[in-house]
């Protein structure tokens, strides 16, 4: 197992950094915001709490919650325009600094492509570097399910994305940053996991992560060390 010092060295010399999105890059949980917007916030929040307990698979939890929300294409677009996701303080500066250093930045999320792409645009991250779940709609805009073939629709999906990135781009060192257990489980194949508790603290992650931060400034400082 790598020591904290070794993890910091991996981060400083990484050629790719993957960020979780909900409660990490943005302050809120996209699916809970969508549920509130569609009038089923409390019921979906309760489902989310149960899902976090790890008794159901990610895909089963996602299917159940979306079945309750049933968001239309119009509702998703209106959510983005009326209640755009709020960036976590410091993330814009951190991503900009990584880009300056020639590091590839990816957003790897169990959230929804349309919302995550909106976030990517604000951070100058190409949409090709977004891995998230895709909602499906009928021709009249009504909810038609989600694309179950996306790796992020499954438990362990974030690790699959990192494996794919390593194969495709021959990255030597890939860092995963996130607030949840699914982010921590992505290392390995990721080379370094950084737990983030700036928006919400998940005790399981805080206790098990060798490197745990509560503000992105801590990572900016690490990059200045070199």
Instruction: Give how many domains the chain has, as a whole number.
Output: 2
What CATH number is attached to the domain comprising 201?
Answer: 3.40.50.1000
- Over the stretch 92-113, which tens digit does the pLDDT of each residue have? 999 999 999 899 999 999 889 9
55: Cβ contacts below 8 Å, ≥ 6 apart? none
The answer, yes or no, to whether residue 182 has pLDDT greater than 90, is: no
Q: Is the pTM of this model over 0.85?
A: yes
Domain match, 194 and 218 both: yes
Supply 39's token pair.
């009038």
Could you tell me the residue range of the domain that residue 100 belongs to? 4-29+84-224
Reply yes or no on whether 217 is catalytic: no
**pLDDT tens per residue across span 111-154:** 899 889 999 999 999 999 999 999 999 999 999 999 988 888 88
Are residues 170 and 187 located together in one domain of the fold?
Answer: yes
Catalytic-role residue among 22, 32, 179, 191: 22
Name the active-site residue from 20, 179, 183, 191.
20
Preceding peptide of 189 cis, ω within 30°: yes
88 with 76, same domain: the answer is: no
């Amino acid at each position: 197992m790598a020591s904290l010092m070794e993890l910091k060295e991996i981060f400083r010399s990484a050629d790719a950094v993957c960020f979780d999105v909900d409660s990490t890059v943005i302050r809120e949980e996209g699916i809970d915001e969508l549920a509130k917007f569609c009038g089923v916030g409390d019921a979906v929040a309760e489902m989310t709490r149960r899902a976090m307990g790890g008794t159901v698979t990610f895909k089963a939890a996602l299917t159940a919650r979306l079945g309750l929300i049933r968001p239309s294409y119009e509702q998703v677009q209106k959510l983005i325009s009326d209640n755009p996701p709020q960036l976590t303080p410091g993330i814009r500066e951190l991503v900009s600094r990584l880009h300056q250093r020639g590091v590839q930045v990816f957003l790897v999320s169990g959230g929804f492509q349309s919302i995550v792409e909106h976030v990517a645009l604000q951070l100058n991250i190409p949409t090709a570097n977004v891995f998230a779940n895709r909602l499906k709609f009928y021709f009249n805009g009504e909810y038609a399910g989600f694309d179950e073939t996306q790796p992020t629709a499954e438990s362990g999906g974030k690790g699959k994305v990192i494996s794919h990135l390593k194969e495709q781009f021959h990255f030597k060192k890939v860092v995963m940053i996130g607030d949840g257990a699914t982010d921590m489980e992505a290392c390995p194949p990721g080379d370094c996991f950084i737990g983030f508790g700036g928006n919400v603290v998940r005790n399981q992650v805080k206790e098990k992560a060798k490197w745990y931060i509560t503000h992105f400034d801590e990572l900016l400082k690490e990059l200045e060390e070199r």
